[in-house]
Amino acid sequence: MRTVSLQEIAQHNKKDDLWVIIHGKVYDLTKFLPEHPGGQKVVLKFAGKDGTKTFDRFHPADIIQRYLSPDVCIGEAEVNNSGEQEPEVETEEDKRVRLAREKMPRLDEMYNTFDFESVARNILKADSWAYFNGGANDEISMRENHNAFHRIWLRPRVMVDVSKIDMTTTMLGDKASMPLYISATALGKMAHPDGEKALAVAAGKRGVIQMIPTLASCSIDEIVGARVHADQTQWFQLYVHKDRRREKDLRQKYVHEGPNEFQDEEINREGGAATAMSGIIDNTLNWNDLAWFKSITKLPIVLKGIQTKEDAVLAARYGCAGIVISNHGGRQLDFAPSPIEILPEIMSALKQEKLENIMEIYIDGGIRRGSDIFKALALGAKGVGIGRPTLYAMSGYGAKGVQRLLELYQNELEMCMRLMGTPTLADIKPEMVDIRNLKDHFVANPTDYLANLSYEKMVPRGNLSKL
Amino acid sequence: MRTVSLQEIAQHNKKDDLWVIIHGKVYDLTKFLPEHPGGQKVVLKFAGKDGTKTFDRFHPADIIQRYLSPDVCIGEAEVNNSGEQEPEVETEEDKRVRLAREKMPRLDEMYNTFDFESVARNILKADSWAYFNGGANDEISMRENHNAFHRIWLRPRVMVDVSKIDMTTTMLGDKASMPLYISATALGKMAHPDGEKALAVAAGKRGVIQMIPTLASCSIDEIVGARVHADQTQWFQLYVHKDRRREKDLRQKYVHEGPNEFQDEEINREGGAATAMSGIIDNTLNWNDLAWFKSITKLPIVLKGIQTKEDAVLAARYGCAGIVISNHGGRQLDFAPSPIEILPEIMSALKQEKLENIMEIYIDGGIRRGSDIFKALALGAKGVGIGRPTLYAMSGYGAKGVQRLLELYQNELEMCMRLMGTPTLADIKPEMVDIRNLKDHFVANPTDYLANLSYEKMVPRGNLSKL
Amino acid sequence: MRTVSLQEIAQHNKKDDLWVIIHGKVYDLTKFLPEHPGGQKVVLKFAGKDGTKTFDRFHPADIIQRYLSPDVCIGEAEVNNSGEQEPEVETEEDKRVRLAREKMPRLDEMYNTFDFESVARNILKADSWAYFNGGANDEISMRENHNAFHRIWLRPRVMVDVSKIDMTTTMLGDKASMPLYISATALGKMAHPDGEKALAVAAGKRGVIQMIPTLASCSIDEIVGARVHADQTQWFQLYVHKDRRREKDLRQKYVHEGPNEFQDEEINREGGAATAMSGIIDNTLNWNDLAWFKSITKLPIVLKGIQTKEDAVLAARYGCAGIVISNHGGRQLDFAPSPIEILPEIMSALKQEKLENIMEIYIDGGIRRGSDIFKALALGAKGVGIGRPTLYAMSGYGAKGVQRLLELYQNELEMCMRLMGTPTLADIKPEMVDIRNLKDHFVANPTDYLANLSYEKMVPRGNLSKL
Amino acid sequence: MRTVSLQEIAQHNKKDDLWVIIHGKVYDLTKFLPEHPGGQKVVLKFAGKDGTKTFDRFHPADIIQRYLSPDVCIGEAEVNNSGEQEPEVETEEDKRVRLAREKMPRLDEMYNTFDFESVARNILKADSWAYFNGGANDEISMRENHNAFHRIWLRPRVMVDVSKIDMTTTMLGDKASMPLYISATALGKMAHPDGEKALAVAAGKRGVIQMIPTLASCSIDEIVGARVHADQTQWFQLYVHKDRRREKDLRQKYVHEGPNEFQDEEINREGGAATAMSGIIDNTLNWNDLAWFKSITKLPIVLKGIQTKEDAVLAARYGCAGIVISNHGGRQLDFAPSPIEILPEIMSALKQEKLENIMEIYIDGGIRRGSDIFKALALGAKGVGIGRPTLYAMSGYGAKGVQRLLELYQNELEMCMRLMGTPTLADIKPEMVDIRNLKDHFVANPTDYLANLSYEKMVPRGNLSKL
């Protein structure tokens, strides 16, 4: 492999003649440019230059080897010994982030998922925050996911011996310390340099299952290698790419690492990086393809993204081991209903068809409190997935933040079970939740501003609040 | 035609002796003054002076020829060669508008209809903004029109081959690239100097139908002349004036330009210019008049402004080719329900009477997202009309803005169809939308200020937001 | 009658020896002090001094003669000729009011009832504003009165000849230009020096009926004398005092002025002046007393303050000529429902008992728009009463303000009738209003502040609004 | 008992060698430290020093004698005669509190419970305010408790003789001046130095019953001793500790003071001091234990914290004299429903089982208005308990504040009964309240910020309010 001088590289700095240094190697990205899922702009920024630092914010180290043909590698970049290395200039945003990180609360001062979200908002770069926090269109579905839990009220029983609370369970046959798993979310390194490895560590330490994303920013080897103990379960999320062979490669290489496999029909295209990625997803995927999947693996297949009872029944009939009711965190289709709203009608349809015992039902989206988990279980879920909260917790505090987050969920669920009079998961019954308003979507009349502004608001004596 | 000196003109500057220069000609407007639909004030401002610039903000160039008798024209105004031309003074508002326009976002940064509305609010003169943006009374119906779509949730199906999405359709027999048309809105030049011509261009380029307003600020010749290709369809909105003959003139002159004809019972009188205009509308219009209309034309007649199932059934019985369910953008009667709310009960009544196949059903009002179009189609609409958004898009960016707007609608509808599992319009079914709350008008209890203000609101750690 | 020196008067300045000058006469108010409905404080302020100016803000000139025995009058106060007259000092509040009045909008710029309310809030003294604007407890019922109209939506019919709109009607047999009357409100002089006379003038000029309050701040002679024409109808509100004879006096003296008589069970005690007044009201009043009333008058008796169907049926059975459904403007009992909400169930109960044609049904409370009148009529009301809006209109503009207010109501009702396709009051039918949500009292869940504050709100491009 | 020098005490200032002076005595708290319910931090602050002042903010004087073995007492602390006494330094918070107390409104200016709450917020130390004001998780249930009363509307009857209102009643056989009692709340001294004694005085003066908390900050002797008259009833709240003997002691010592006994399954563990306390509560408590309780006492047992009809029926079957429907002020389990919401279904279940006459039903939580009491009675409650409002009233004004508070409740209830047409408690009937919306939990759709911010809000002319 030849050594290429920096001077030579610098000359290939145009759209139709584009070389970039990554991890000391020089790549000709001219042909790849239009196919880059993250768009052309970010690549062109490093035309004729070293793009390693930005590359590492998004990608696993081995991604070039896996996706591009070997001949795009021109050679090794000359090492810069001139002492003329460009000084790192701190941008305005770098400064904002640095200062915000200096003021970050201590980890033991974080008491709930919203604390983590608020801190993440302060300390993340704007692009990372926008990517993680954003939802489709008006972000109605994204917010509705948690919102819907507020329409479910509890019916606590008293005078029950709750001195011992047991929330251990199994998911697809594997043990878990609680009925919660870490769901697959793309591009974890945008939150923290450890990326999905941090999630693997936290999951292992707290005894919960992690679902590895197709679009991980760490390599599968790295994520699997980060496991805390040998029998730590990991699931694998599978997007179906247009060129299906690549997924087969991936699966054949990695499924032995975790016992189970997730197949996810998620189609992520709401804008920015996400839109670009959707270009590589197979839009022809349909029920008939499931037969083919079942023919090539003995792993249990779980279908993620189910949103109607009709499709839940189909999934059971097509032999899925489970489904995840999900609207993909409200990132794809606005006004897709929240999973918790759909759960009862799916359970009811499966029961009517006598299919309720052949599949495990999971939900993700909007799980922000231990009581949310309780409500999902009462309505028939085997467990729940959490996505964004893990990214937010990781943003500020890495694996330890995620551990703390999982501890908070566990504590809240334990307290909820104790106060509900349910010492074990088996004690949690549908009649313990009041869902009469679950399907009611209340949209207030447009505000009567004239009447409101004419009215002089009452203020309690001595009040210091702002209205 | 005699040449009249500026000095002579300047002497006719009173209410009972009123000459005004428009496009170089001198008119005696003394008798016309009380009939001016836009009020007397704006005319008197130019008594004895040149009113061309303001005239052009509202009117087609040929309007005087069409509406006034030839003898009001006194002659040609002397050309001012004195070099003493009044210097143009920039008013405070002109300055505000100029500065706002300088800061306008680039067109490719506009991502949705609300971006266009917000930009229009900044860059329009106050009178234009008030005229376009205003609604009747408390503007409840105006806002409810979009609001009501929030009460409809989607039921997305998965595992459907959505690699090809086809949203082409026909309306009254003519092809359209998508199930959307540009509805008639008055006085387009208040938004942009190109007025309705800009809409014609954008409609042609994006393959959608334009409805030409009765109260256009461009002449029909101009709007028809602005078409991009020869078979571009335009519809014509017909207000019925007290003096019905004028409309007959208009129609006989122009209907050959576009294949179809709209008859609109819209009565626009909510205040300002709009109120004035209502004086010229025929309030006696009733169902019996429809027979007369049908006797004088073979063009299909579509009745705009239907708001009850009873009237929809009558329209079908009276032989209309279609109806537009519309509350006129909430500009007329506050607490008139939103069209999307009325659509299902109209479809159901037509079906009960076996009339659902003899008319095409359109709705307008509040269509702001691609998913709004999807919802309307699922509930039985053949297509939807958009009004204000085209004015807002035109305000800042002319025809190109409207093209961008139409592209955004199209992209959003395509994404929605893909994620709903509906490759063609025929796949869109009523059971794909959940309308259980559609007719629920939730008005919150008056706020309990004492309790709210006594309560200390929770704030997440590290939060920087304002409450 | 002896002349009393100012020096002598000044010595009687204690609670147990209390003289006050009013309109040049000296009164010994020692015994009356604890019975003063407005409290002792305001009287003691003028102990030994001249209280005329403040007296006139609340009372008719003849009130002392009517309520107190002649021997409380000590004599005539010495006329102050010393030139040492106390200079009028402008208080901070006087100044605020003066400046606010200087900035008052022109009357023709007032477009709706809320404009009048907002102006009144600026220009009234704090005690007047608090007295007029206040409601019971949390002011839920007060605001709910108008709020409830927002739960009623319209069903407009099209293609109806609406070239002529007729809204004239009769009330208790007397003609009215529209189905609206001015309801009785106490202490009108707190709003404007002309007090209830201003209302009489405006009512006469616009052809509507005025209900004269028991607790008027003008004498009945003054209010009756202010009528614009001889056959102008006035009704009389009758509180039943503990000492019933006084009301008899009043009635015998004044009922010949107006053709009808209102008997009002209103019990006004929500605080301040109002609370004090309740001390003089007869709490024993009950249905049996109605027989006695009917035995002493041939005037029609209308019972005001009905709030249930049970009491409406009783009122009919006891021979009332009408009822006013009213919660007294939400001034008495918080969570008393709005009259418009109760109207349909009362109509339905009367129909069931075949009593709907023997009484006229009125409502008051929250009528702020012409469409509110339309809705009330559609649900069975013969007419509506307006209270606070007349006080607000009078505050800034006297009788002319009230005329403008009545004109606005009339214009709005006319426009509403035109756009609803109802040329006469008889065309207004129950099926034209959608009341399915009328009885739904939506109280939002407590706000989820943590989730709300963590969420980054979307803002349209170019937006200048505050959230 | 030996006298210990300050110098010697100062040397025992470590976690594993910890002496503290309290009320002049020296205690070795080394072993007790980890068991301190309020945490170790606050104790360590006074290691080797005098902690009396802080001790007195939380504890009854006799608590050490009652809970710790006598041998922890080392001796008497040397009296400091050196003149070197540490000067009292005013902290920032002390200063804030002092200034706020100087600006406190006069007691006769306090008109409702919210006034007291707002004043308390200003004048309490941050830890006291947080302890009293806080609720579980998102504080939804805490706020919902009062909120739910807003879903109940009244049906007032007129023409009833209401000249005399009688609201006296009995509770568990004892007389009360109104159907309200002061509920048990922990750590009253954090609100006011008089602690629960202030409540005893106010209760006695106003003739209402007080429930003495298990976790009182005054000794039972003190609270009982503070009674105003000999037959003043006090109830006793009983937490069941892990070591049950202590409660037996307490009960044997004190039950003769008050005629009745409350048994409360409250489990207080929402954080801070509260969490620590939960460690001492017996989590194994269940229905079988009730038999044991009944075997050891003839006092009536009332079960507090019932939240379902199932448990209410069980309580009746197990022989309880009464129940308190309560979610513990929303301090324990968020999304536990409000007691007023559960009351009707409990009454209905008891009636169905013919158990409604064998138990008295109470509710607590969110009672903030006289009308709240009326609503609870109409739905079947024998009386209501108030908690936080007494602490707030006490914070600023001691016993006199609580008396004023009780007077306000009484006045409001009297006015409500008068205006409802119910002269006695027996006249209050279920049909007088409209509960059709009581169980509706309305959660608004996520806000459409783009549409809201694009819209230009209407503002009435002359308006000075902020939006």
ipTM value, please give it. Answer: 0.90
Residue D238: its H or E element:
strand D234-238
- Give the number of B-D residue pairs with CB atoms closer than 8 Å: 52
Interface chains of chain B (3 or more CB pairs under 8 Å): A, C, D
B458 Cβ contact partners less than 8 Å away, ≥ 6 residues apart: C449, C450, D138, D139
Tell me the chain B residues in contact with residue A450 when contact means C-beta distances shorter than 8 Å. 138
User: Is C189:C435 a contact under the CB 8 Å cutoff?
Assistant: no
**pLDDT surpassing 60 at residue D70:** yes
The encoded tokens of residue A224 equal 């699997």
Q: What is this structure's pTM?
A: 0.92
Which pair of structure tokens corresponds to residue B304?
Answer: 């705009």
CA neighbor of B300 nearest in space, from B255, B363, B347, B244: B255
Mean pLDDT of D98-107: 94
Q: What chain C residue is nearest to A153 in terms of C-alpha separation?
A: C445
| Top-confidence residue, C230 or D366 | D366
Return all residues near B426 (Cβ < 8 A) that are at least 6 apart: none
Q: How far is CA B437 from CA A440, B60, B148, B152, C271, in A?
A: 7, 45, 9, 7, 42
Residues contacting residue D459 through CB under 8 Å, at least 6 positions apart: A449, A450, A453, D467
Cβ-defined contact of C314 to D161 (cutoff 8 Å): no
The per-residue pLDDT string of chain A (467 residues; one tens digit each, 9 = 90 and over) reads 899 999 999 999 999 999 999 999 999 999 999 888 778 888 999 999 999 999 998 888 888 888 888 999 999 998 876 666 667 789 999 999 999 999 999 999 899 999 999 999 999 999 899 999 999 999 999 999 999 999 999 999 999 999 999 999 999 999 999 999 999 998 899 999 999 999 999 999 999 999 999 889 999 999 999 999 989 999 999 876 555 453 333 333 333 333 344 445 443 333 444 444 455 567 888 898 888 888 888 899 999 999 999 999 999 999 999 999 999 999 999 999 999 999 999 999 999 999 999 999 999 999 999 999 999 999 999 999 999 999 999 999 999 999 999 999 999 999 999 999 999 999 999 999 999 999 999 998 999 999 999 999 999 988 765 54
Question: Hey, are the CB atoms on C114 and D460 less than 8 Å from each other?
Answer: yes
Region B131-137: what's the mean pLDDT? 93
B121 touches chain D (CB under 8 A): yes
Residue D386's closest CA among D367, D414, D401? D367
Interface contact B81, partner D, CB < 8 A: no
On chain B, the residues whose CB falls within 8 A of the CB of C143 are 446
Q: Is the pLDDT of residue B290 over 90?
A: no
Say yes or no to pLDDT of B279 above 60.
Answer: no
Q: In the prediction, which pLDDT does D290 show?
A: 85
Max distance between CA atoms of chain A, in angstroms, equals 81
Q: State phi, psi for A22 to the nearest 5 degrees.
A: -135, 125
Contact by Cβ (8 Å): B320, B311: no
Please give the Cα distance from D458 to A453 (Å, whole number): 9
Domains contained in chain D, CATH given: 3-77 (3.10.120.10), 131-434 (3.20.20.70)
Q: Cα–Cα distance between B234 and A246 in angstroms, integer?
A: 50
Mean pLDDT in residue range B229-237: 93
Q: What Rg, from alpha-carbon coordinates, does chain D have?
A: 25
Residue pair B101/B90 in contact (Cβ under 8 Å)? The answer is no
Average pLDDT, chain C: 88
Subunit partners of chain C (3 or more CB pairs within 8 A): A, B, D
Helix (H) / strand (E) element for B245: namely helix B245-254
What token pair was written down for B330?
């909430």
More confident site: D361 or C257? D361
Chain-chain contact of D459 with A449 (C-beta, under 8 angstroms): yes
Residue B282 and residue B241 in contact, taking contact as beta carbons nearer than 8 Å: yes
At D243-280, the pLDDT tens digits run 545 333 333 333 333 334 444 544 333 344 444 445 55
Using a CB-CB distance cutoff of 8 angstroms, which residues of chain A are in contact with residue D121? 462, 464
Lowest mean pLDDT among A116-120, B224-228, C67-71: C67-71
Q: Say how many CB pairs under 8 Å bridge C and D.
A: 147
In this complex, is the C-beta atom of D357 within 8 Å of any C-beta atom belonging to chain A?
no
Pairing label, strands D433-434, D209-212: unpaired
Spatial contact of A292 and B159, defined as CB atoms under 8 Å apart: no
Residue A98 CB: number of other CB atoms within 10 A? 11
With contact defined as beta carbons under 8 Å apart, do B330 and B145 qualify? Answer: yes
Is the CA virtual torsion C188, C189, C192, C197 positive or negative? positive
pLDDT at D323 over 60: yes
Q: With an 8 Å Cβ cutoff, is B418 touching chain A?
A: yes
* H or E element that contains A383: strand A383-386
Nearest CA in chain C to A369: C451
Which chains contact D through at least 3 pairs of Cβ atoms less than 8 Å apart? A, B, C
pLDDT over threshold 90, residue C242:
no
Chain C interface, mutation test: which of B335, B437, B452, B457, most C Cβ atoms within 10 Å? B335
User: Residue D294's pLDDT is what?
Assistant: 84
User: Is D158 touching C (CB cutoff 8 A)?
Assistant: yes
> How confident is residue C396, by pLDDT bands cut at 50, 70 and 90?
very high
Min Cα separation C330/chain A (Å): 14
Structure confidence at residue C440 (pLDDT): 93
User: Who among B161, B419, B437 is closest to A441 (CB)?
Assistant: B437
| The pLDDT of residue D321 is above 60 | yes
Which residue in B129, B146, B444 is closest to D451 by CB distance?
B146
In chain C, which residues have their Cβ closer than 8 Å to the Cβ of D450? 458-460
Please give the C-alpha separations between residue B289 and each of B244, B286, B295, in angstroms, as whole numbers. Answer: 11, 6, 10
pLDDT band at D283; cut points 50, 70, 90: confident
Q: Which pLDDT value is given to residue B201?
A: 98
Closest CA to C252 of C218, C299, C209, C310: C299
Please state whether beta strands D3-4 and D73-77 pair in parallel, antiparallel, or not at all (unpaired): parallel
Residue D247, classed as helix, strand or coil, is: helix
Q: Is A467 on the interface with D (CB under 8 A)?
A: yes
For the CA atoms of chain A, what is the radius of gyration? 25
Q: Is the pLDDT of residue C253 over 50?
A: no
Give D-chain residues touching B466 at CB under 8 angstroms. none
pLDDT recorded at residue B249: 36
Sign of CA dihedral B431, B433, B434, B435: negative
Characterize the bridge pairing of strands B153-154 and B13-14.
unpaired
Inter-chain CB proximity B454 and D117 less than 8 Å: yes
Shortest Cα distance, chain B CAs vs residue A119, angstroms: 5
* Tokens of residue D391, six digits: 């602490």
